[in-house]
Amino acid sequence: MEPIQHQMMGYDRAITMFSPDGRLLQVEYAKRTVRLGNTAIGIVCKDGIILVTDKRLVDKLVVPDAIEKIFKIDDHMMSTAAGILSDARVLVERAQVKAQQHKVEYDSPVDNIVIVKDLCNLMQYTTQSGGLRPFGVSLLIAGIDETGMALFETDPTGLYYQYKATVIGEGETDIEEQLHKEYKDTMTMDEGLSLAIKMLKKALNNNFQPERIDAAIIPLSTKKMEKVSKEKIEKLIK
């Protein structure tokens, strides 16, 4: 059945209504929103995990340093997103509270998977409840816990997958193809950052500027999130 027929027949008007061919159209629309979002890349390297994202400066009067696209969940865990970033902010704040509650209750850092499952449970709940809409956002959640390094990707359905390297947002199709070709388990964080920035530069083409890049790392040696400085980003671009 064609999309226009679905719309005429009203199957996309309620989140709880399946179309005759078994689809939840509002959830599919939410996924399209993610594909229109800023490009974000996550890579697990041999010495740590990196996240690199496009700040997407829409106004030259905006202060680039004031735009934050990579969020700290806890010392050992960080996240970035593509889609409706106000939705992402709500999910990240929930994750931050859960991480702190776990630390107070158990006197130890929360595991990555606990945070991922909690957020995905909420995202799934909004796909089956009348009066709500799905979260129009996908998250990349990177962290180092007792089980080691992990990079997860969530989507608006509430599904999550663990990746060695992945990308979300508008450049997804082209960059994913490049990751399949160029990613190696043995690459260092510097090599991973260079690769991610190179791919972002290619995706953004004439719109690329160093100020658009936001990047952060969690080294395996410290297990603590660090923002990558503007100077280092500019150095890696050259």
Strand bridging mode 48-54 / 77-83? unpaired
d(CA 53, CA 64): 13
Look at residue 236 in the predicted model and tell me its pLDDT: 87
**Helix-, strand-, coil-residue percentages of the chain, each rounded to 5:** 40, 25, 35
Residue 24 burial (10 A CB sphere; 0-12, 13-18, 19+): buried
Instruction: Report residues of the chain scoring pLDDT below 70.
Output: 1-9
CA distances from 69 to 15, 51, 135, 163 (A): 29, 10, 17, 20
Task: Name the phi and psi angles at 46, rounded to 5.
Answer: -70, -25
Q: List pLDDT tens digits, range 169-228.
A: 998 999 999 999 999 999 999 999 999 999 999 888 877 888 889 999 999 999 999 999
Q: Domains of the chain by range and CATH?
A: 3-237 (3.60.20.10)
Look at residue 5 in the predicted model and tell me its pLDDT: 61
Count of residues in the chain: 238
Tokens standing for residue 126: 């909004």
pTM reported for the whole predicted model: 0.93
Q: CB 170: neighbour CB atoms within 10 A?
A: 20
H-only helix segments in the chain:
3-9, 25-35, 85-106, 112-125, 172-182, 189-204, 230-237
CA distances from 181 to 41, 53, 195 (A): 15, 20, 11
Look at residue 72 in the predicted model and tell me its pLDDT: 97
End-to-end CA distance of the chain: 50
Look at residue 208 in the predicted model and tell me its pLDDT: 82
Look at residue 4 in the predicted model and tell me its pLDDT: 56
Cβ atoms of 163 and 153 within 8 Å: the answer is: yes
- What radius of gyration do the chain's Cα atoms show? 18
Interaxial angle between packed helices 189-204 and 172-182, expressed in degrees from 0 to 180 and rounded to the nearest 10: 150
Q: CB 130: neighbour CB atoms within 10 A?
A: 8
